[in-house]
Amino acid sequence: MLEKFVAEVFGTGTLILLGDGVVAGVLLTRSKAQNSGWIVITWAWALAVFCGVVVAGPVSGAHLNPAVTLAVAMNGGITWDQVPWYWAGEMLGAFLGAVLVYIHYLPHWAETENADLKLAVFSTGPAIRNYAANFISEVIGTFVLVFVIFAFANNGKAGLAALGALPVALLVLVIGLALGGTTGYAINPARDLGPRIAHFLLPIPGKRDSDWSYAWVPVVGPLVGGALAVIVYQAAFTNFMAKVIGSA
């Protein structure tokens, strides 16, 4: 199990280094990528997922996301005693990836006056703060992520590695483009919480509070969305196909 934990650390760390890295490049003052926009961010996040899956896939299945781990466990793809190891690896990897982003852009924090932009490098936030609507957005986005991953894998048990990295990357791209405008599409508790903790702990000049009042939304929403996706997928496809095969 240790090797799966390490794989999730490295895979999720790669995801966050590149994903939060592009946000830093777009938002921080005097970055050459400053103001390059949403399309750059969504594409780079998709490719960050691609890289994370390539890194962790052969060893752990490349969940990189506690909501995906929960969904795979609910569907019998891993045992429940493995879930804490996956979650710990994902959280640690996300935290370390965010620390590397901080180091990489070290001179730019002091140059950036807007404290909200500094927080946005690390964690998501709503375009319009409405906790109920924001929660629903995260549920829907993660539902799409997990439901389509299960459809890709056909039975939901093989993990992301069996899919190949490209389909999952394209799925994250379209979620970002189509559904990400409301909350910044965390769709991953580790992606938001690990870097938010890093923002809280790191000596970032001129930073604001870490917006803990919102932090539950990108954690609970994705977990609920992932769980619902398993339930609906099993009801709509897995159980139906079992009945068809049994009656044949």
| pLDDT score, position 19 | 98
Grade residue 165 by pLDDT with cuts at 50, 70 and 90.
Answer: confident
Distance, in Å, from the CA atom of 113 to the CA atom of 133, rounded to the nearest integer, reads 30
Please report which confidence band the pLDDT of residue 236 belongs to, taking 50, 70 and 90 as the band edges.
confident
pLDDT at 200 over 90: yes
Q: Which amino acid is at 210?
A: S
Whole-prediction pTM: 0.92
CATH of domain 2-247: 1.20.1080.10
Average the pLDDT over 154-183 and give the result: 80
C-alpha 21/C-alpha 243 separation (Å) is: 47
DSSP string for residues in 85-125: HHHHHHHHHHHHHHHHHHHHTHHHHHH---HHHHHHHHS--
Q: Give per-residue pLDDT as tens, 41-84.
A: 999 999 999 999 999 999 998 999 999 999 999 999 999 999 99
Span 81-117, pLDDT tens digits: 999 999 999 999 999 999 999 999 999 999 999 999 9
Decide: 9 and 56 in contact? Cβ < 8 Å: no
| Cα 141 from Cα 127, distance rounded (Å) | 15
pLDDT > 90 in the chain, percent: 85
Question: Which range among 10-14, 152-156, 174-178 shows the weakest confidence by mean pLDDT?
Answer: 152-156
Q: Is the pLDDT score of 237 beyond 50?
A: yes
Q: pLDDT confidence of 1, banded at 50, 70, 90?
A: confident
Please say if the pLDDT value at position 126 is more than 80: yes
* pLDDT, position 244: 47
List, for residues 132-150, the tens digit of each pLDDT value.
Answer: 999 999 999 999 999 999 8
pLDDT band, residue 242 (cuts 50/70/90): low
Q: Whole-number mean pLDDT of the chain? A: 92
Asked if residue 48 lies in contact with residue 19, where contact means CB atoms within 8 angstroms, the answer is: yes
